Structure formats: structure tokens, C-alpha cells
Amino acid sequence: MAEEAVIDFDNIGLILDGNPVLAEVSFRVFPGEHWVVLGQNGAGKTSLFQLGAARSRPSSGTAVVLGETLGRTDMRKLRQRIGISSGSIAEQFRRDLSVDEVILTGIYGDLAPWWRTYTDADLERAIKLLRLAGAEKLSQRLFSTLSAGERQQVMTARALMSEPRLLLLDEPTSGLDMGARERFLERLEILLGEHPSLALVMITHRLEDVPRSTTHALVLKRGKIVALGRANEVLTGKTLSEAFDIPLEVDKHSGRYRGFVTSLDTS
């Protein structure tokens, strides 16, 4: 029996405020695959993320997430089955919440812990995920006092609390310095290693942020797909030069990609 895709988008189109932001987008994500979505600012990455997170539905085409067709299912319940980490969610937590409390809200996708009853097993899982994320020592800290890198570690652990089949990360290294970025990516690899059947879709605009475990890539430009498929076939100088409108060469060292500008016309 064939494995069911956790994301199955067929000829998706999305129009916002009368403007097309996605057009003719089709791709499928299967369990255990780690996808990265790259493109310029305004390429449609965030809109694609919102669809994958069941926070919007397409204007045309068919979008299926975890077996549910967007627009024909209870989107609120579906969102509880998806692990989501984004800066916009992190900014919504009250300043007096501890890291432990923030982590526990991930079970139901809440923004506060007061409406639920949590078990000892829930707390044990929260501590385990914090440890895997390299953030166990932060458990009693106020979430609002954490650095940007620490927040990303906590938010990724929170996203895994519901034991999702799909993990979505929106620009997880945004605002991190080089050291914090590398520490976050290292810990992300550890978390993914502990969840081998988990499907990952990570949105970014920087090639250097692509995790070593990435299996597939999708590159967007002005709402349309430039290329998609196996990461080593998609993340090339030719493809990324077209997507970012700049001449690039790409190499890979120790499993990580790097991009270099080959020549730039400044006349």
C-alpha cells in the first residue's frame, strides 16, 4: 500500500486583495522527507506556509494536508495536528509565561496554558523535547527574557509536543547571529533524528540555512515554481541564479550548501 502524502497540493492558486500570490503550484510531501522552500522576499513562501499550516485555503486547485482537504474540513482541528513554529506565534505569548508553560501549549496549539489540564507525562515530554533542543536549562525562565536563538529552540520543541506528522518552520534562523544559527541547526538535526517519520517543510531565503538532513527543495519566484525535487538536483547555481536574479555558484561542504556571487554588474 502506497504511503499517503502529508501535503498534496494540486495546481494551487492563491489571490489576496485581488493580487495573485501563488499560481500553478503542485507538490507532494511524504513522511520522513525534509523539504526546504527558498525564494526572494515576496516569492510566495509565507503564503505557501499558511496553506501548509491550514491557516488559509487556496483560491483555486486542491490542497490536502494530513488527508484533509482545505476548505472542506474543520481547519481549527486540523491545525492541532500540525507542528508549527513561526516568529508571529512566538510574539503572541504573554510576557509572564514560563518556558515550561509555552512548551505545554503546543499540545493543543493554544497561546496560554490555563484552559487545559496537563499530565505528568505531558510535562515529561516537554522536558525531553527541551533537552533534545538543547534548552533544558531554560525551563523555568520567562519566555519573554530569552534570546532569539533560545526562543527558536523552545518554539521548535513546542511544535513537536503534539507528536505531529508534519513540522513547519517559518524562517527559523531569522534574526540569529552566526553562532546561534549553527547551534539551532545542530539541535534541529538532533530533534529530526529522534522523529524519523516526521515530514519537515522549512521556509527560508538563505541557502546557508538549509539543514544537512534536507532531502527535497522547492524554489519559488513571483508565486510560481522555478524547480522542485531532490535537493542536490534543485539547489544549483543555475536554478538559484534564476530565482534570485543574481549570478550564483553553489557548492556543498560537509553536507551544507553555500552560495557565491560570481559577478555583479554595478554599472
User: Which amino acid, 12?
Assistant: I
Query: Hey, is 164 helix, strand or coil?
Result: coil
Instruction: Please check whether residue 130 lies inside any domain of the structure.
Output: yes
Tell me the pLDDT tens digit for each residue of 70-94.
989 998 899 989 999 988 889 999 9
One domain, residues 54 and 171:
yes
Assign 3-state DSSP to the chain and report helix, strand, coil percentages, each to 5: 35, 30, 40
Instruction: Please check whether residue 247 lies inside any domain of the structure.
Output: yes
Question: What pLDDT sits at residue 1?
Answer: 47
One domain, residues 58 and 171:
yes
One domain, residues 45 and 171:
yes
Question: What pLDDT sits at residue 263?
Answer: 72
Instruction: Please check whether residue 237 lies inside any domain of the structure.
Output: yes
State the residue range of the domain holding 146: 87-163
Task: Identify the CATH number of the domain in which residue 63 sits.
Answer: 3.40.50.300
Instruction: Please check whether residue 186 lies inside any domain of the structure.
Output: no
Residue count of the chain, please give it. Answer: 267
One domain, residues 173 and 247:
yes
Instruction: Please check whether residue 232 lies inside any domain of the structure.
Output: yes
Instruction: Please check whether residue 47 lies inside any domain of the structure.
Output: yes
Tell me the pLDDT tens digit for each residue of 20-32.
999 999 999 999 9
Distances (CA, A) of 122 to 60, 158, 161, 231: 40, 12, 8, 36
Tell me the pLDDT tens digit for each residue of 145-189.
999 999 999 999 999 999 999 999 999 988 888 898 899 999 999
The total domain count for the chain is 2
One domain, residues 129 and 223:
no
Residue 128 has pLDDT above 70, yes or no: yes
Task: Kindly calculate the radius of gyration of the chain based on its CA atoms and give it in whole angstroms.
Answer: 19
One domain, residues 253 and 231:
yes
Instruction: Please check whether residue 259 lies inside any domain of the structure.
Output: yes
With residue 26 as reference, give the H or E element that holds it: strand 19-29
Instruction: Please check whether residue 198 lies inside any domain of the structure.
Output: no
Per-residue confidence at 51, pLDDT binned at 50, 70, 90?
very high
Question: What pLDDT sits at residue 255?
Answer: 87
Q: Tell the residue number behind the cell numbers 491550514, with chain if given.
A: 54
Tell me the pLDDT tens digit for each residue of 217-237.
999 999 999 999 999 999 999
One domain, residues 172 and 77:
yes
Question: What pLDDT sits at residue 264?
Answer: 63
**What's the mean per-residue pLDDT of the chain?**
91
One domain, residues 94 and 73:
no
